[in-house]
Chain A
Amino acid sequence: MPEYSRVNQRPDAVRVAVVAAGIVSPLGFGLSETYATLREGRDCVSPVTRFPVEHCRCKAAGQVSDVRLAGAGRPQLRSERLHRVAQMMILALGEALAQAPGFQPELSVVGTTSGGMSFGEEYYRSLRGGRTSSHRAACLIANYTPQKPVMDAQEAFGLSTPCQVIANACASGTNAIGHAFDCIRSGRYERILTGGYDALSELVFVGFDSLQASTPERCRPFDHERTGLVIGEGAAILLLENLESARARGAKIVAEIAGYGISTDNHHLTQPNPSGSGPRQAMEGALLSAGLSAGEIDYINAHGTATPFNDAAEGKAIVELFDGVAVSSTKGMMGHSLGAAGAIEAIISILALQNQFLPPNINFRNGDAELDLNIVANCSQPGNVRTVLSNSFGFGGTNASVIIRAIDV
């Protein structure tokens, strides 16, 4: 097994607590709604209405309701300059900070793929149509940049923390959590704000459609007849803190980030090595970093996009490393929220730990004969869940895995 994070295995290594979390996704606004939807196994994918999709193969996505965003009741959300993904971030950060009053992060490490890209699209269309005021044009430019939503969210709560915004494609959210974990574990930081965000954009939606990576059918992760992903959106925030400091100040500890692995698969810009070596290296790195064996993982929240290549590579790596561990991809319910996915799924993993259940892999009919996976098929299940591994893999060969465990382990 390669030595990715050996430094983290020192007996005196700092432990890293999750002290709060907040989430907005197609599954719901906030932790409670998200949990209820997961238990129910509801399909939250719906027809796309934000832009024309008649010429796309795929016509559906996991979407966050604009009506609900507008009605969320926070005065900070009203500014016309705010992109809707910034609004999602404000709500997610607000929920997290409400659980950890006075939390002052020294650093923010968050993931995204395209931030407020739809503002850039609006700007480009306005050039051709010539119908946007100069004020609006300047506003679109200043606010389409990918780092802006997290800065807007911080600003809404009076924070001016430096932001490292990771754009490692679909692994961004998990990379952000992992790097934040490494920073605290190294002893250089006490408190870090981490998470991920992305909003539906025409460019990205059509991009995946052009690659035929998205499906005109239902999203069926790990199914023998899987035909591709559906895009999603959302925002999720986790507040991480040195466990000892958090305990000393009497903070509520939600969970512990125990390990992180990262790898780069150089096989192809958009396709994983079919051997599954990239995902395997990331998962091995996370286990090593946590000082755990594969047998100590109770549940894997898989990347599971439902594309034939991704699920095959990830499934192969899981089968090689683990022996019958419960696996599900929750993307069938909410779509693939790209840079937000890793953070959203980390929170789903925390909900599984807190509520002792296995989130479902919906739309599942027949398992892939090539992959002997223990899929949590279609319905959530009660489970003895103490330690979870969450995967995210992306274009560019970026692979990331984090291990999250219940705090009393």
Chain B
Amino acid sequence: MSLGLAGMGWVTPMGSDLTGVWNRLLNGETGLAQSVSSPFGRAYPVFPVPAEATAQAPAHPRLRRSSAISRFAVVAGLAALKDANVELDAEAAARTALIFAVSNGGVIYTKRFYHEIVQSGAQAASPLLFPETVFNAPASHLAAILGISGASYTLVGDGAVGMLALKMAENLMESETLDRCLVVGAEEADWLLCDAYAKWRLLRSTPPIEPFEKPPRGTVLSEGAGAVLLSRGGDIRLEKVAAGTNFRRQSEAGDALERVFAELVDGEIDLVVASANGTFIDAAEDAAVLQNCPKAKVYAMKQALGESVGASSLWQTICGAQCLRTQTAPPDSRRIPVPDAGVSRARNDGQLRRVIISVCGLNQQVAGLRLATP
């Protein structure tokens, strides 16, 4: 079975236009970080999604009370369908599966709901908020908007969850009853998450993210969504998805990534779109690349868009596919520690044929995939 990426869409801190964001990445631009403050006096940087990026969200009743994560997902999902020129009538929707990847989920409503319990007692808890705290609420909204009536799954995990969702899609597409599978990863940022990641000693106090710097200086959280539409055609082939493995300690992440690369590297690899984000991941990923595909260029897109956890694997996949589609790649992250606007793009005209998307999560999961031109 040969699967391809038929369509792509994203909502990022640099906007939601596929080509527009891509060009900004090529130019070495980064999202605009803002400071979010906790009520306990701490401030953290995040890369937020600008309001205009979700302005085209449909005026659907399901989005009336929904959290930001649902709007991100809907905009990205619809963009992927549009990119593929697919319109889902009832028959097509019945032959389309939806897989949703998320890590922290609707954290803003979850925090508000629990805050009411802590602050005022259970009798103050809002029945309007609770349903939006459930992990599969965004997937439910998207399915309702698209009319998907068959298979819909929400997967939870760390930053590798989007890759696990793509693996699940590959498995689902074994069924002849499906023509396509929409895979969406999404996340929303909040001070509570920043506080947690800071206590976990993974966050830095100010941007930028500096991938592959030694010692690692920490990451910056971001938000948004990425969506890819898989079908049995498509202009970018999904050659192999490695479901990966788990590591117990951060020091074992390199060995785990090594196993993923061993599964994915088969012949020449032109580019690795890495998950390096300024944490322990970077050294592990760098070592795996050097060991398995030393000639490959490496691009760590989180330096530009931040660590969006549940959305990040999808963003990386879209980035890899764009490299293949446009035969152009952003500059190698290992040689440009601090990306500045105006850095000249690295062109690889006609030379990009195979790209690995490498994903190491912050909470023990690793996975990856290999994309190729037809």
Contacts and interface: CB of A to CB of B under 8 A. Distances in A.
Nearest to B132: A269
Interface string A112-147: 111100000101110110100010011001100111
Nearest to A144: B196
Interface in A167-188: 167-169, 175, 179, 182-183, 186, 188
Nearest to B195: A127
Q: Most chain-B Cβ atoms within 10 A of its Cβ — which of A113, A121, A128, A269?
A: A269
Given A186-B174, A188-B171, A52 B164 contact: no
A168 B136 contact: yes
Contacts of B38: 127
Contacts of A7: 174-177
B246 interface: yes
A90 to B, nearest CB: 15
B367 A162 contact: yes
B122 A56 contact: yes
B130 A211 contact: yes
Size range of the interface on A?
35 or more
Dominant secondary structure of chain B at its interface with chain A: mixed
B113 A395 contact: no
A162 B245 contact: yes
B195 A395 contact: no
A327 to B, nearest CB: 25
Nearest to A209: B122
Contact of A396 (B125, B137, B172, B176): B137
Interface stretch (A200-208, A237-245, A291-299, A350-358): A200-208
B156 A169 contact: no
A154 to B, nearest CB: 7
Contacts of B133: 203, 207
Given A164-B167, A395-B136, A145 B118 contact: no
Given A55-B123, A209-B125, A398-B152, A167 B136 contact: yes
Given A124-B111, A162-B243, A167-B136, A175 B153 contact: yes
Given A138-B200, A162-B244, A262 B365 contact: no
Contact of B114 (A124, A148, A162): A124
Contact of A162 (B172, B195, B246): B246
Interface in B135-152: 135-137, 139-141, 143-144, 147-152
A397 interface: yes
Contacts, number: 205
A374 interface: no
A395 B134 contact: yes
A269 to B, nearest CB: 5
Contacts of A21: none
Interface string B109-122: 01101110110011
Contacts of B132: 269
Contact of A2 (B94, B123, B175, B192): B94
A264 interface: yes
Contacts of B23: none
A240 B110 CA distance: 35
B257 to A, nearest CB: 13
A3 B177 contact: yes
A263 B247 CA distance: 34
Interface in B96-116: 98, 102-103, 110-111, 113-115
Contact of A210 (B126, B141, B161): B126
Contacts of A138: 199-201
B9 interface: no
Contact of B135 (A2, A146, A161, A182): A146
Contact of A179 (B115, B137, B154, B168): B168
Contacts of B245: 160-162
B113 to A, nearest CB: 7
Contacts of A147: 156-158, 161, 363, 365
A188 to B, nearest CB: 6
B214 to A, nearest CB: 23
Contacts of B345: none
B292 interface: no
Interface in B335-370: 363-365, 367
A281 interface: yes
Given A7-B176, A164-B168, A182-B171, A52 B122 contact: yes
Contacts of A127: 38, 40, 195
A165 interface: yes
Given A206-B125, A263-B149, A163 B246 contact: yes
A128 B118 contact: yes
Contacts of A113: 134-135
Contacts of B171: 179, 182-183, 186, 188
Nearest to A52: B122
Contact of B196 (A141, A165, A398): A141
A53 B149 contact: no
B140 A397 contact: yes
Given A209-B122, A263-B150, A148 B175 contact: no
A270 B147 CA distance: 17
A40 interface: no
B287 interface: no
B82 interface: no
Contacts of B364: 151
A245 to B, nearest CB: 18
A179 B154 CA distance: 12
A275 interface: no
Closest 4 CB pairs of A and B: A396-B140, A207-B130, A167-B135, A162-B243
26 contacts: A3-B177, A4-B177, A7-B174, A8-B175, A56-B123, A113-B134, A127-B195, A145-B156, A147-B363, A155-B246, A162-B243, A162-B365, A182-B174, A182-B175, A186-B175, A203-B113, A203-B117, A203-B133, A206-B117, A206-B125, A266-B140, A266-B147, A269-B137, A269-B140, A395-B134, A395-B140
Interface of A: 2-8, 52-53, 55-56, 107, 112-115, 121, 123-125, 127-128, 130, 134, 137-138, 141-142, 145-148, 151, 154-155, 160-169, 175, 179, 182-183, 186, 188, 202-203, 206-212, 262-266, 269-270, 281, 394-398
